[in-house]
Chains A and B, each alone.
Chain A
Amino acid sequence: MLNIRMLSIRNLKAAINGMEILKGINLEVNEGEVHAIMGPNGSGKSTLAAVLAGRDIFTVTGGEIFFDGKPLLGMAPEIRARSGIFLGFQYPVEIPGVSMVNFMRTAINEQRKYRELPEMSASDFLKLMRDKKALMEIDSALASRSVNEGFSGGEKKRNEIFQMAMLEPRLAILDETDSGLDIDALKTVAIGVNRLRRPDNAMIVITHYQRLLDYIVPDFVHVLSAGRIVRSGDKTLAYELEEKGYDWIKEENQE
């Protein structure tokens, strides 16, 4: 298998309000791979996701990120998105008054413009919506609703994956997509995600619990603690972690 390098994170440091959260992250992600990032609350998982997506409340204080060979830092969030980075939000934002159709059509056409492709016709777009909704088993009324407004927790998370299906990212970062979901909703989301796995894309799955990884099986598992990746391994690491708890990592780390 040809390992084409997609994402390189080198000694990444980031802070918020002067407090350093990420203290030197190193991570390499190749095409076709699924990486799971696990860690206790406050270890910096969501910060890492936000920094990758370009959230400006965090200040990058050191290190580099390359995405498809290009430096990512300094790139506006929307350019990152158009280049193929997708962030599945832990807390998807409600935007009253903006319909899902309008929202998605704008997003797709902005991406196509960036890639020098013609705008998608209305009928092609609606067909795409229909296909993806079917794929994600999404209620067809969703399209006429405002973005995430009045959605249940499960609906919001499914809506994130639906958007991922629409936008077909190179790299999807799913930030605690499992949080707040019951087991059925979790399965539905996982099935959706698995359908989107391809040899030419990659995923970073951020989770606190191992159970999501029963359904989205990772190639690599990394454990984040206090702003650093303290352990990496294959999927068995997740089970080990589940068994021994995060204290095990913390203790081991201190030794």
Chain B
Amino acid sequence: MEAVSDKHILDNQLTDWYFDNRDQLISSSSSVFNSLRPAAMESFRKLGIPDRSLENYKSTDIPKVFLSPLNRYIGQRKILFAVEDLFHCDIPELDTELILLVNGWFYENRPKLQVLPGGMIIGSMSEAAKQYPDLLKQHYSKYADYEKDGLVALNTAFAQDGTFIFVPRGAGNDRAIQIVNVLLSPEDLFVQHRNLVIVEDNATAKVVVCDHSLSAHHFLTNSVTEIYVGPNAHLDYFKLQNENNNSNQISTSFVHQERSSDAVFNTITLHGGLIRNNVFTRLNGEGASNQTLGLFLMDKTQHVDSYTFVDHAVPNCTSRQSFKGILDDQATGAFTGRILVRPQAQKTQAYQVNNNILLTNDARMSTKPQLEIYADDVKCSHGATVGQLDQNAIFYLQSRGISIREARLLLMYAFGHEILSKITVDPLRERLADLVDKRLRGELTRCNSCPLHCQETC
């Protein structure tokens, strides 16, 4: 009963926060954002912060992380550090177009919007809303449904800035676009950002998102990302989560795919406190194909909860989901994966696997793969396992002279290999493979900053 009233207080607090700051919010933002705020807030008042009474949030106590004392601000705060001195991505050959977000705000070490060769536009969401209101109106909040999820409603009610990526018709660039989300603050902080990725017809893009904390404070991020993949378009989207163990993160992404498009959404989670990742995919045009992947390595008391929903709305689409987790110490994990095949979506192929390894008796995993199928000419399957490393494989390796420790590491590494191998940006893949190896060896355990670069910052 107590938790319910806590949630009540929390919902009221956030509602008050909105009404107390509404004028400031509206005066400082474009109409694209402002026009949806009242409806989003109304929806938030109905839904509130999701708690464990909701089937989809059973495994993770979201109100709890909202209830810890965090500073909340409407406007952008001055950063007391020179971020570029602290952060430079050290993957040697990773040649990317970089967008830096600091605490959810575009960091102005570059122009707010850049037009790249080939017509790609990248930069600040807030600026894009000013310069390209029509484009935003077409896509903003068209895929993220604030009427179904209180966290999305909250984000939409307060949306101000984030990253914007626009790849116009037929454009393509081999250089990946890298978004670095930095958390850096002299105090504990609540952060929200709203992101939009538009890949138009026949366009191609690779996006790398890195979440890092550069100070050891408590953070809570509630981010929403909408991704539109147009007809024949191709998108590779990689997300690396590597924040300190005091950082809690709720990240909700919506992937909307049109005819014959192809998208990969791959989340690698190395560190963090409590993490909830939602990925909603809608296959909205025939012949679309999607891969939604995830790998997480958790220890201590870390918690990661992955929720995926793949909606096969039309015929002839293919989706593959593969999520793998390794849990050490007292880490806990949850996976819910839902595949919906609508009545007209004949010739669907939808596959899903979730494999987990528990390394200790205190680690805990719950998994809920779900198939909901209303069309008959389909091939669908799902599988889930929770277990340990294969004893036969360990013995085989030992029999070749490999020590038991090394054998276990090799097998754990191999376990994660499938997910890593899907990363198409070579230097990133190699670096991540190395990071995963280090993580498994316990060499990354103390890091509360970005392991991609200098250690001297913490």
Contacts and interface: CB of A to CB of B under 8 A. Distances in A.
Interface stretch (B99-107, B143-151, B407-415, B443-451): B407-415
Interface residues of A, number: 29
B406 A77 contact: no
Contact of B401 (A92, A102, A107): A107
A78 B402 contact: yes
12 contacts: A78-B399, A78-B407, A81-B401, A95-B396, A95-B411, A96-B417, A97-B417, A98-B410, A98-B413, A110-B401, A163-B400, A167-B400
A14 to B, nearest CB: 16
Interface of B: 390, 392-393, 395-404, 406-407, 410-411, 413-418, 421
B404 A78 contact: yes
Name which of A82, A95, A111 has the most chain B CB atoms within 10 A of its CB. Answer: A95
A92 B393 CA distance: 10
A107 B397 CA distance: 8
Interface of A: 53-56, 76-78, 80-82, 86-87, 89, 92-93, 95-98, 102-103, 106-107, 110-111, 114, 146, 163, 167
Contacts, number: 75
B399 A81 contact: yes
Given A102-B410, A106-B406, A106-B410, A97 B398 contact: no
A176 to B, nearest CB: 16
Contacts of B392: 93
Contact of B402 (A54, A92, A107): A107
Contacts of B404: 76, 78
B143 to A, nearest CB: 34
Nearest to B417: A97
A78 B401 contact: yes
Nearest to A148: B396
A77 B414 CA distance: 21
A82 B414 contact: no
A146 B391 CA distance: 18
Given A93-B392, A97-B418, A81 B411 contact: no
A96 B413 CA distance: 11
Contact of B396 (A82, A93, A106): A93
B410 A76 contact: no
B398 A93 contact: no
A79 B250 CA distance: 47
8 smallest A-B Cβ distances: which pairs? A97-B414, A97-B417, A81-B401, A77-B398, A107-B400, A82-B401, A78-B398, A98-B414
Contact of A89 (B396, B406, B407, B421): B396
A233 B71 CA distance: 86
Nearest to B420: A97
B400 A81 contact: yes
Contacts of A53: 399
